[in-house]
Structure 1
Amino acid sequence: MSSVNSTPSHPSAFILTGVPGLEDAHIWISLPFFGMYIIAFLGNSIILYIIKTERSLHQPMYYFLSMLAVTDMVLSTSVSPKMLAIFWFHSNEIYFDSCLIQMFFVHCFSSTETGIFLAMAIDRYVAICNPLRHSVILSNPVIVRIGLVILVRGVLLISPLCFLLNRLPFCTNKVILHSYCEHMAVARLACADTIINTVYGLIVGFLVVGFDVTFIVLSYFRILRVVFRLPTRAARIKALSTCGSHICVILAFYIPALFTFFTHRFHHSVPLYIHIIVANLYLLVPPMFNPIVYGVKTKQIHCRILAMFHFKRIK
């Protein structure tokens, strides 16, 4: 460990505490987190494999689902290995550059995930409200461009957070009260004014979430108007079932995400260990939950999974 230096500079490394106040329970906390990570990684890998190998699933909805699966794997892998190393091996130290890289991946792919939710909502809107032109409007080149725009947006919006942190001087306190390098948790250790970091973080959060949620809500408002005008009850149930899994996935992501976002800035009434646990669940529950929901609720994927495991049992 580097020696303490009173001169403001970048520390060679930070110390991550894991879950502050629950250090004695780290081994027990790690078990469900490890289980969620394994389920998330395997579940999303299976989703990607099925979509790649099943030609009938080469459609816009499943291309966006593939993007979501990759994003979920990156998000959960960005934090889980280091977090489990803290819980199991007391490997609390993380290099300054590694901390910035982890922070970039966490925030960039969180932004990417919310963008993919918007793209999936638009896909459902076109499929239900304008089904005859669905394949024309959302052609393969258009889908690729949408994916690139979502990723580039995340990179362009989150990169300044890393540069803003890199320009800050840090003093003797190197202990991050968190299990991964979250932007505001790191910024609080600086011995300089961090108002620019705080304001920019708020602006990015409100821009990304505000923009995406607004258009997701508008898309589903239009979808519901069309659905309730369908002539038969069976058609309405089928259309609502198609959107139901997407709505569940969106809520599983945004509820803990918003809780984490606001408690980092107005956290005085929330116990720190509660905030840290929810912040970890925010990066593990949706990646675990998404393949389960789509595997159960999407008939094509559900049947393909059953066929795959049935074939393995026969062999």
Structure 2
Amino acid sequence: MTTINHTGVSHTVFHLLGIPGLEDQHMWISIPFFISYVTALLGNSLLIFIILTKRSLHEPMYLFLCMLAGADIVLSTCTVPQALAVFWFHAGEISLDRCITQLFFIHSTFVSESGILLAMAFDRYIAICYPLRYTTILTNALIGKIGVTIFLRSYGTIFPLIFLLKRLTFCKGNILQNTDCKHIVLAKISCNDVRVNIWYGFFVLMSTVVLDIVLIFISYVLILRAVFHIPSQDARHKALNTCGSHVCVMLLFYGPGIFTTLAQRFGHHISPHIHVLLANVCILAPPMLNPIIYGVKTKQIREQVIHVLFTKQK
């Protein structure tokens, strides 16, 4: 491996530009950011409150949904306030340690959400394929172990990134053309050989998100096979309907991410601000829309939301 000699000073403070090329539009761009953040906070907080306070919702599906709502709040809070500070106050200055901390929580929370969606697919598989054993298989103890495993996996796989970044010398510059810190974005402005960073990032992606997608796909193949063996059409429709919200949330979570990855890999002709906007859609859309999807498509949650919001006002 070739060693590169560095004569420059390693930067410890960086500057986030926001949306490159659209600096004069930052005030207008901040509006959907602010609306999505407020919606995500209120919607997910209400969802957590309802699930935790209503004993009728203390079921595996809703407990996993509670985990997802908590992860959505963390993901939004890690990113949107920093972006709004750049848009409103041009406060894009960020230290190396703070930048690494931010990207650690962004990446680990993203991996956590993927793991929770896998757990929710497992929940639907047990509910439809083994309905009589549902409560005996998915006990509160097992749900707790699954939750701990999800978060240990996410933090454990992302934690090495801290050391992979701390070893680098950032002498190419201190400008980050983004609204927040990302692993590869930060690594690319170093003067070191970052192949280890790239390959480890690829390993994390394949061993977490891609593996989760494959396992979710397998679970839904098994679910569909079981559903189409149900003789009653009404029962078949009801079984599929219980998966509707989860499928919508999965498409919302994985869809923009896959599109963004393909755009970054093959869309070299696409303007940098488009790449940044697409990356922000992956972070902004799921936390804002997840509680709306479950509120609209899940009768039990919809009834409890109406009860909480309107009954107490009478």
Normalising by the smaller structure, the TM-score range is over 0.9
Residues 113-152 of structure 1 correspond to what in structure 2 (within 5 A)?
113-152=113-152
1:40 is matched with which residue? 40
Q: Distance in 1 between matches of 2:171 and 2:10?
A: 8
1:213 is matched with which residue? 213
Identity among equivalent pairs (%)? 49
Larger mean Cα displacement after TM superposition, 225-234 or 77-86: 225-234
- Counterpart AA for 1:89: F
Structure 2 residue 77 is the aligned partner of structure 1 residue 77: yes
Residues 165-244 of structure 1 correspond to what in structure 2 (within 5 A)?
165-244=165-244
Q: Distance in 2 between matches of 1:117 and 1:172?
A: 39
Q: Gaps spanning 5+ residues in structure 2: where?
A: 1-5
What displacement does 1:262 show?
4.2
What displacement does 1:52 show?
0.8
| CA distance 1:264–1:94, change in 2 (3 Å) | farther
What displacement does 1:233 show?
1.5
Q: Secondary structure at the match of 2:14?
A: strand
Q: Are the aligned partners of 1:17 and 1:179 in contact in 2 as well (CA < 8 Å)?
A: yes
What are the Cα deviations for residues 245-280 of structure 1, in whole angstroms up to 9, with x where unaligned?
A: 100100101111123334445551322111101111
2:13 is matched with which residue? 13
Q: Secondary structure at the match of 1:313?
A: coil
| CA distance 1:88–1:256, change in 2 (3 Å) | same
1:104 is matched with which residue? 104
What are the Cα deviations for residues 72-94 of structure 1, in whole angstroms up to 9, with x where unaligned?
A: 00001100111000000000101
TM-score (norm 1): 0.95
1:156 is matched with which residue? 156
| CA distance 1:104–1:85, change in 2 (3 Å) | same
1:91 is matched with which residue? 91
What are the Cα deviations for residues 138-161 of structure 1, in whole angstroms up to 9, with x where unaligned?
A: 111111111111111111111111
Taking only aligned residues, the RMSD between alpha carbons, in angstroms, comes to 1.3
1:52 is matched with which residue? 52
Q: Are the aligned partners of 1:76 and 1:284 in contact in 2 as well (CA < 8 Å)?
A: yes
Q: Distance in 2 between matches of 1:267 and 1:165?
A: 26
Q: Distance in 1 between matches of 2:255 and 2:94?
A: 29
Q: Distance in 2 between matches of 1:79 and 1:7?
A: 34
Q: Distance in 1 between matches of 2:127 and 2:282?
A: 30
Q: Distance in 2 between matches of 1:227 and 1:17?
A: 50
What displacement does 1:237 show?
1.2
- Counterpart AA for 1:86: V
Q: Distance in 2 between matches of 1:69 and 1:32?
A: 20
Q: Are the aligned partners of 2:41 and 2:73 in contact in 1 as well (CA < 8 Å)?
A: yes
Q: Are the aligned partners of 1:184 and 1:264 in contact in 2 as well (CA < 8 Å)?
A: no
Aligned length: 309
Residues 268-307 of structure 1 correspond to what in structure 2 (within 5 A)?
268-307=268-307
What displacement does 1:172 show?
4.6
What are the Cα deviations for residues 43-83 of structure 1, in whole angstroms up to 9, with x where unaligned?
A: 00000000011100001001100100000000011001110
Q: Distance in 2 between matches of 1:265 and 1:103?
A: 21
Q: Distance in 1 between matches of 2:159 and 2:271?
A: 30
Q: Distance in 1 between matches of 2:108 and 2:171?
A: 27
Q: Distance in 2 between matches of 1:61 and 1:270?
A: 40
Q: Distance in 1 between matches of 2:260 and 2:56?
A: 39
1:3 is matched with which residue? none
